[in-house]
């Protein structure tokens, strides 16, 4: 398989720098093909006789399976850690369980260590390191023949330093030895052009105890009341409207590409089950669920990667590094509101494949932070963003129960603190489950009476 131009350039630059230093940091936009680049760089070093083994570390077993497959194919050698193999992939979480005999390999042989999504590793010294970062400082730093750090989002939400990283003066920004941004990836045909729809509502009525308030946007609701973003994500009308937009867009894409799929990023397992129910029972979609509580989540992801199911609903299982090129639509309904997570989720729908329709759509609520993240993508795409305001004037065909019912929920799936969210509008079936994942302790009556609207952020319009 021929390398992409950026991969060849990165490998050439890394080989040059490795004559002067043993660490290389590559920033490449999610979906660009960092794993293939890393495998080919390792192959060059193996062929040149500069290393004996390759050890890869990543955040999840799902990512590791992809790493093993890619490295085995590109190196034409076993990559499973068994006798005769040239290396293996491990999770960061497993580092602490690896014994001294394992780490001794770095003292007796020339080992290349590759750290995928390196932003998970915190600290440039023991005093400020997290558990995973400390393992690198103790067992890998100054012992590996070469180290390669990979990331699509080279920062941490807590602004802490990343392990083995260098910083430039005087602004103290992270130094990357090679950068391949989203703008260039789109221009090269490596990544799809993303479109981001920010969903809002202009007439929101909230009863909080004896107090009645009216808001003209989700932003004003969240800033002007004690209602949380998590509670908003669990409002049935909100869930159904976001899902409906995603379903309509995926259906349009599948007119040309019948294999196209969609991803729903949920806030919790209970939330994911409710979203799955809406997809299947209300919107007549084929869908599957993948969570960390399942016995074999990797098998579910692998089946979805190759089958024709329309949607996969996930709780944290398909966020970074998971390669499913047929994903082209995503509904972001997670309560996580960090830019790193936001960009990683967006990256799941940007991988180019051979299908005739390469559209990529991300649907989120117009929550202030998420709106800011959408606009900051413009930093990667200067002078080419087109922002359109679109008002939905049609009557919303999503109704709620005529009789009031209470939705009991809690901050996590097993907690007991309950909240009741009272809704009263026209017909809708009783919910399949009355559990929801919200963080409220008060009772609310929330009615969305206005028209929903979508602000479309078209990148490379």
Q: Does domain 5-180 have CATH number 3.40.50.620?
A: no
Q: Which of 11-20, 196-205, 246-255, 444-453 is predicted least confidently?
A: 444-453
Alpha-carbon distance of 185 to 50, in angstroms, equals 31
Helices (H), 321-422: 339-347, 368-376
CATH architecture of 192-458: 3-Layer(aba) Sandwich (3.40)
Contacts (Cβ under 8 Å, ≥6 apart) of 270: 409, 413, 433, 435, 436, 437
452 bridge partner residues: 201
pLDDT of residue 322: 76
Q: How confident is the model at residue 155 (pLDDT cuts 50, 70, 90)?
A: low
Q: What are phi and psi of 140, to 5 degrees?
A: -115, -45
Residues in the chain, total: 461
Q: Which residue has the higher pLDDT, 278 or 317?
A: 278
Which of 149, 202, 209 is closest to 179 using CA atoms?
A: 149
pLDDT of residue 399: 30
Q: How confident is the model at residue 427 (pLDDT cuts 50, 70, 90)?
A: very low
Q: Judge contact between 233 and 440, C-beta under 8 A.
A: no
What is the mean pLDDT of the segment spanning 56-70? 92
Q: Which of 48-57, 266-275, 367-376, 384-393 is predicted least confidently?
A: 384-393
Q: Which of 84-98, 114-128, 178-192, 279-293 is predicted least confidently?
A: 114-128
Q: How confident is the model at residue 453 (pLDDT cuts 50, 70, 90)?
A: low
Which of 440, 278, 319 is closest to 62 using CA atoms?
A: 319
Rounded percentage of the chain residues whose pLDDT exceeds 70: 76
Which one of 26-30, 190-194, 279-283, 429-433 scores highest in mean pLDDT? Answer: 279-283
Q: How do residues 205-243 score in pLDDT, each as one tens digit? A: 887 777 788 888 889 989 998 888 998 999 998 899 999
pLDDT of residue 401: 34
Helices (H), 18-99: 34-47, 61-75
pLDDT of residue 169: 53
Q: How confident is the model at residue 413 (pLDDT cuts 50, 70, 90)?
A: very low
Rounded percentage of the chain residues whose pLDDT exceeds 90: 50
pLDDT of residue 259: 96
148 in the Ramachandran plot: left (φ > 0), alpha (ψ -120 to 50) or beta? beta
pLDDT of residue 319: 63
290 bridge partner residues: 314
Which one of 82-91, 187-196, 445-454 scores highest in mean pLDDT? Answer: 82-91
Contacts (Cβ under 8 Å, ≥6 apart) of 78: 72, 84, 85, 86
Q: How confident is the model at residue 362 (pLDDT cuts 50, 70, 90)?
A: very high
* DSSP codes joined into one string, 393-409: -SPP-----SS----EE
In angstroms and rounded to an integer, the radius of gyration of the C-alpha atoms of the chain is 24
pLDDT of 123 above 80: no
* DSSP codes joined into one string, 256-284: T-TT-EEEEE-SSHHHHHHHHHIIIIIS-
95 in the Ramachandran plot: left (φ > 0), alpha (ψ -120 to 50) or beta? alpha
What is the mean pLDDT of the segment spanning 445-452? 58
pLDDT of residue 261: 98
pLDDT of 383 above 80: no
Q: How far is Cα of residue 77 from the mean position of the Cα atoms in its chain?
A: 31
Which one of 145-159, 226-240, 423-437 scores highest in mean pLDDT? Answer: 226-240
Q: How do residues 303-315 score in pLDDT, each as one tens digit? A: 999 999 999 999 9
What is the mean pLDDT of the segment spanning 430-450? 39
pLDDT of residue 452: 65
Q: How do residues 4-40 score in pLDDT, each as one tens digit? A: 999 999 999 999 999 999 999 999 998 899 999 999 9
Q: How do residues 161-173 score in pLDDT, each as one tens digit? A: 677 776 555 555 6
pLDDT of residue 62: 85
Where along the chain do its domains lie? Answer: 5-180, 192-458
pLDDT of 138 above 70: yes
| pTM recorded for the entire structure | 0.80
5-180 and 192-458: same fold?
yes
| Average per-residue pLDDT for the chain | 80
pLDDT of 149 above 60: yes
Alpha-carbon distance of 309 to 56, in angstroms, equals 31
């Amino acid at each position: 398989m021929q390398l992409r131009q950026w991969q060849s350039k990165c490998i050439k630059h890394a080989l040059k720098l490795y004559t002067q230093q043993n660490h290389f940091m590559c920033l490449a936009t999610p979906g660009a093909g960092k794993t293939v680049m890393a495998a080919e760089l390792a192959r060059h070093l193996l062929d040149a006789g500069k290393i004996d083994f390759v050890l890869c570390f990543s955040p999840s077993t799902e990512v590791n399976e992809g790493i093993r497959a890619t490295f085995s194919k590109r190196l034409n050698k076993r990559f499973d850690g068994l006798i005769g193999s040239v290396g293996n992939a491990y999770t960061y979480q497993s580092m602490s369980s690896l014994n001294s005999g394992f780490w001794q390999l770095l003292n007796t042989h020339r080992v290349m260590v590759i750290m995928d999504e390196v932003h998970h590793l915190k600290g440039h010294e023991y005093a400020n390191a997290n558990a995973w970062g400390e393992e690198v400082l103790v067992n890998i730093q100054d012992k590996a023949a070469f180290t390669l750090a990979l990331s699509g989002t080279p920062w941490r939400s807590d602004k802490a330093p990343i392990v083995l990283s260098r910083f430039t003066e005087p602004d103290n920004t992270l130094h990357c030895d090679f950068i391949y941004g989203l703008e260039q990836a789109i221009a090269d045909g490596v990544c799809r052009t993303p479109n981001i729809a920010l969903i809002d509502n202009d007439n929101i009525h909230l009863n909080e105890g004896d107090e009645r308030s009216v808001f003209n946007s989700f932003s004003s609701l969240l800033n002007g009341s004690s209602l949380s973003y998590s509670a908003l994500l669990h409002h049935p009308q909100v869930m159904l409207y976001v899902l409906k937009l995603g379903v309509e867009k995926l259906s349009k894409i599948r007119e040309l590409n019948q294999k196209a799929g969609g991803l729903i990023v949920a806030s919790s397992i209970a939330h994911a089950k409710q979203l799955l129910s809406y997809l299947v029972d209300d919107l007549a979609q084929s869908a599957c669920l993948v969570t960390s509580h399942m016995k074999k989540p990797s098998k579910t992801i692998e089946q979805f990667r190759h089958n024709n199911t329309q949607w996969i609903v996930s709780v944290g299982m398909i966020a970074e590094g998971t390669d499913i090129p047929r994903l082209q639509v995503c509904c972001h309904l997670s309560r996580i509101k960090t830019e790193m997570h936001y960009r990683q989720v967006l990256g799941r729908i940007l991988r180019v494949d051979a299908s005739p329709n390469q559209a990529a759509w991300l649907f989120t609520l117009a929550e202030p932070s998420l709106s800011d993240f959408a606009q900051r993508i413009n930093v990667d795409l200067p002078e080419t963003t087109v922002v359109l305001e679109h008002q939905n004037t049609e009557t919303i065909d999503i109704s709620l129960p005529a009789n009031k019912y209470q939705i009991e929920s809690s901050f996590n799936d097993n907690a007991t603190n309950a909240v009741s969210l009272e809704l009263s509008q026209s017909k809708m079936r009783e919910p399949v489950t009355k559990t929801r994942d919200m963080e409220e302790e008060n009772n609310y009556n929330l009615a969305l009476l206005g028209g929903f609207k979508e602000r479309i952020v078209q990148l490379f319009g």
